[in-house]
Amino acid sequence: MTKSIAVVEDERDVADLLRHALEKEGFEVRVYHDGKIALAELLRKPPDLVVLDWMLPGVDGLEICKALRREPRTAETPVLMLTAREEEIDQVTGLEVGADDYITKPFSPRVLAARVRTALRRRATGSSDSEVLKVGPITIDQGRHQVTADGKVVSLTATEFKLLRFLASRPGRVRTRLEIVEAVSGEVAVLERTVDAHVTSLRRKLGAPGELVETVRGVGYRLREE
């Protein structure tokens, strides 16, 4: 499947160079010149990878990166930061906000394409998935793909696991069926009307802690913090 890359860069000539280099590699490329517009669009329709300039009008690259990491749908999206040479000192800050890699301007298009491929590959192997989420009696070990409820291991399907992880990523927050569909669909197609069935099954498997998965009538679901 064609991978989509979002390029956020206010300098038109650099943006054109990036578009050309990435399209030549067979990627589908979207370009944004404004930070604020870019952030809204990235959250609305997450790409497979973001090439993000540091210095931008509106919202800067660091803020965009932080915002992407906060949202479950984009938390795992690889981000390559572009930075001018004199900004190299800031690379540590960028890694702290969750950027995957850096490219210093001026860059060679060939090197850039290689770094994009590496970042996509690294994410595909899931090396940064080792976080453990804990909500009340429910523990989700993302690295081991294991869930326990009241200390007992629960056997979930891939879809149920993603569903629970999505709800647990922001306890208390209501998620619509559509958001759930978008978050859990990957290799499996999940329809809005089948979300209810997945939730019912997930609740049953969790046992007593399953009641923390609450129905919000007419909207969707949330995982209650006790």
Contacts to Ca ion by CB under 5 A:
10, 53, 55
The one-character DSSP state at 145 is T
What is the number of other CB atoms lying within 10 angstroms of the CB of residue 61? 24
Shortest distance (Å) from residue 51 CB to Ca ion: 12
Residues near 134 by beta carbon (within 8 Å), at least 6 away in sequence: 140
Q: Which is nearer to Ca ion, 28 or 87 (CB)?
A: 87
Q: Which is nearer to Ca ion, 10 or 129 (CB)?
A: 10
Q: Measured on CA atoms in the order 37, 191, 69, 126, is the torsion positive or negative? A: negative
Which residue of the chain is nearest Ca ion when measured via CB? 55
Q: What gap in Å lies between CA 155 and CA 50, rounded to an integer? A: 34
- Is residue 77 within 8 Å of 68, Cβ to Cβ? yes
Q: Which is nearer to Ca ion, 82 or 116 (CB)?
A: 82
Shortest distance (Å) from residue 11 CB to Ca ion: 5
Shortest distance (Å) from residue 114 CB to Ca ion: 22
Which of 79, 78, 32, 80 is closest to 56 using CA atoms?
32
Shortest distance (Å) from residue 134 CB to Ca ion: 40
What are the beta bridge partners of residue 80? 51, 101
Shortest distance (Å) from residue 108 CB to Ca ion: 19
Q: Which is nearer to Ca ion, 103 or 202 (CB)?
A: 103
Q: Which is nearer to Ca ion, 62 or 223 (CB)?
A: 62
Q: Which residue has the tokens 């870019």?
A: 38
